[in-house]
Amino acid sequence: MLSTMPKRVNDKLPKGVSLDRDFRTREPRYYFRAPGKKKIRLREKPGTAEFDREVACARLGVAYVPEGQEEKRPEPLKRQAAEGTVDWLLAEYKRRVQGNISATVLARRSTILEEVCEYKFGKARCGDLPYADMRKRHVLEIRDALREKPGARNDVKRAISAMFSWAVESDLAALNPAAKIKLLYSGDGFHTWTVEEVRQFEATHPAGSKARLMLHLALYTGLRLDSLAILGRQHIRNGILSIRPEKTRKSSGVTVEIPVLPDLQKTIDASPTGELTFLVTEFKKPFTTNGLGNKMRDWCDQAGLFHCTTHGLRKAGATIAAENGATDEELMAIFGWTTKNQTTTYTKKARRKKMAAGAMHKLVPEQK
């Protein structure tokens, strides 16, 4: 009986989800609870795509409808927000942008914005205040109070800015109080893999293994984890890989079209794959995004690369391409970026590295 219980299940549950076993039967029951609200019972099985969608719906405050069932009208929001308040603006934002951006992104923003609404200026709850009165100083106070680390504080700033940017565009607000707040320096983010680390991973996971296939798919396509989870043979035609990345599917809608490199094709041909996706679980089913991320974590740990991640391979590919002379426009085409905000990080570093290498001889005094 005990052997059937999931181990350390709370370690892999999404934020806001908790496990509460039945007192008599020990049956696992999962709940989602947003700050200041009642918990919601989750019926789907953890680790499945259905469970992820159910959690996303719970974060947004809308009814979850399983696939194949008749769709019902969304339940009304539990909090009756007064028009013109921050609560009201958040409710409008969630209602009107739903379907225009990915459910995962909206759920992540909603979680942060709900915390913003619960923040108190003295005795006044932020969600009950007029959003038109919010200024830069208020955003800075909320950001610094809700989070401690620079990266997390940037997430708060981005979420508030996204909501107010939409409000300005929708003619609901005159200004975006977070627009001119600079992002805090939070380091270089995910570690960029080195060539030596790639070789170390390959030494642990031989050709023909799922781990080797995952490594080369990530390194030689530059796709994010959510796109790697759905990538399959249907995305390749006449040697060209064509896919619309999940992250930007509902925003820029950009399609990535890149040739399949010979090394990648060789790895695909030598590896067992699924029918719909290249990467499948032990049960021959496609990975969820979180499931594939956890599996890659295990593969990296097995190779002794505890600091390496899937996203670090994307950064490694961009770094290698930039150092080989790729332009900003070429990087945008390869990695699906729509602005040069990301590309200049790599191209500037590559140029600085080349300039330093070409100028080092100038440190040596001239011989007379």
pLDDT in tens, 165-180: 999 999 999 999 999 9
Question: Residue length, the chain?
Answer: 368
Cα separation, 326 vs 318, in Å, equals: 9
- The domain segmentation of the chain, as residue ranges, is 1-67, 77-178, 195-356
Cα separation, 338 vs 325, in Å, equals: 19
pLDDT in tens, 316-360: 988 888 888 989 898 888 888 778 877 888 888 888 888 888 888
Mean of all residue pLDDT scores within the chain:
87
pTM of this structure? 0.60
Cα separation, 230 vs 95, in Å, equals: 28
Question: Which residue type, as a one-letter code, is found at position 67?
Answer: E
Q: What are phi and psi of 210, to 5 degrees?
A: -65, -35
Under 8 Å between Cβ of 222 and 314:
yes
DSSP state of 365: P
Under CATH, domain 77-178 is a member of which superfamily?
Answer: Tyrosine recombinase, N-terminal domain (1.10.150.130)
DSSP state of 192: P
Q: What is the mean pLDDT of residues 282-299?
A: 93
pLDDT in tens, 90-135: 999 999 998 888 888 899 999 999 999 999 999 999 999 999 999 9
Contacts 24+ apart (CB under 8 A), 148-151: 149/186, 150/184, 150/185, 150/186, 150/187, 151/184, 151/186, 151/187, 151/189
Confidence of residue 4 (pLDDT cuts 50, 70, 90): very low
How confident is the model at residue 8, as a pLDDT? 44
Whether residue 294 is predicted with pLDDT greater than 60 in this model: the reply is yes
Under CATH, domain 195-356 is a member of which superfamily?
Answer: Intergrase catalytic core (1.10.443.10)
Whether residue 7 is predicted with pLDDT greater than 60 in this model: the reply is no
Q: What is the mean pLDDT of residues 238-259?
A: 83
Q: What is the mean pLDDT of residues 183-187?
A: 84
DSSP state of 76: P
